[in-house]
Structure 1
Amino acid sequence: MSIYDAIGGATAVEAAVDEFYVRVTADPVLAPFFAGRDLPSLKAHQRAFIAAAIGGPEVYQGRNIPAVHTPLNITNSHFDAVVDHLVAALRGLGVPAETTGQIGAALAPLRSEIVSA
């Protein structure tokens, strides 16, 4: 069974992404990255991206990850904070620590594509 199925599929991913955005937009360090952005569009891309990364049927068709993130000058501490918020959102929805660890491991290779500062 995929991680996607284990956590509850599309419904769980949508709930996690919604909670994730509540957290990152409330974080004073991360909020400026999201100010003035089309949050519904960002959420849709994030849902598809996370679902695809954890074995769901969705296909991520967003823009090139480095092209989107490089102009933002994201640091390692920004990346870590985002991952921490995602893990907290998942745990808040009852996803077991082992599974959140697997999700984090699936997303960790993106650090080199996202961090540019």
Structure 2
Amino acid sequence: MTLYESIGGETAVRAAVDEFYRRVVTDPDLAAYFADVDLARLKAHQRAFLTAAVGGPTAYQGRSMAEAHAGLGITGAAFDAVVAHLVATLTRLNVPTTEIAQIATALGPLRDDIVGSRTSTE
């Protein structure tokens, strides 16, 4: 059984992404990162990414993490807060701690691609 299947498949991924974004957009330390973002589009990308990351049937075909986050000025603290919100979301949805740990571990290597400096558009 894949991790995707063990957490509940598409239904679980959809619920997790919806709950996760409810958390991050209302977090005062993270809300600014999402202020001008098409949330419906972002959720669709996140569902595809999460599905692929946990062994689901869909291959993620979006931009690389470095490309998608370039110039956003995401700090290490913001990255950690996002991961914490994901862990809290999965915990709330009764995903077993072993699976949560596997997902959190898979996110670690993405840190260098996501955390970076804000680029100027001036």
TM-score (norm 1): 0.96
| Structure 1 counterpart of 2:68, one-letter code | V
Quick check: which has more Rg, 1 or 2? 2
Partner of 1:112: 112
1:79 aligns with 2:54: no
**Residue in 1 that maps onto 2:91:** 91
Counterpart of 2:51 in structure 1: which amino acid?
Answer: A
Deviations 1:2-29 (A, max 9, x none): 1110000010000000000000001001
Report deviation, 1:110: 0.5
Secondary structure (helix, strand or coil) at the match of 1:29 reads coil
The percent identity for this pair of structures is: 58
Q: Secondary structure at the match of 1:23?
A: helix
- Corresponding residue for 1:23? 23
- 1:43 is matched with 43
Regions of 4+ moved over 4 Å? none
Segments of 5+ residues of structure 1 without an aligned counterpart are none
User: In structure 1, how many angstroms separate the alpha carbons of the residues matched to 2:108 and 2:64?
Assistant: 17
Other structure's SS at 1:72 match: coil
The one-letter amino acid paired with 1:102 is: Q
Note the aligned Cα RMSD (angstroms): 0.9
> What are the ranges of 5 or more consecutive residues in structure 2 without an aligned counterpart?
118-122
Give, in angstroms, the shift of residue 64 of structure 1.
Answer: 2.4
Deviation at 1:61, TM superposition (A): 1.4
Residue identity in the other structure for 1:87: V
Secondary structure, in 3 states, of the residue corresponding to 2:70? helix
Partners of 2:53 and 2:107 in 1: CA distance: 7
* TM-score, normalised by the number of residues in structure 2: 0.92
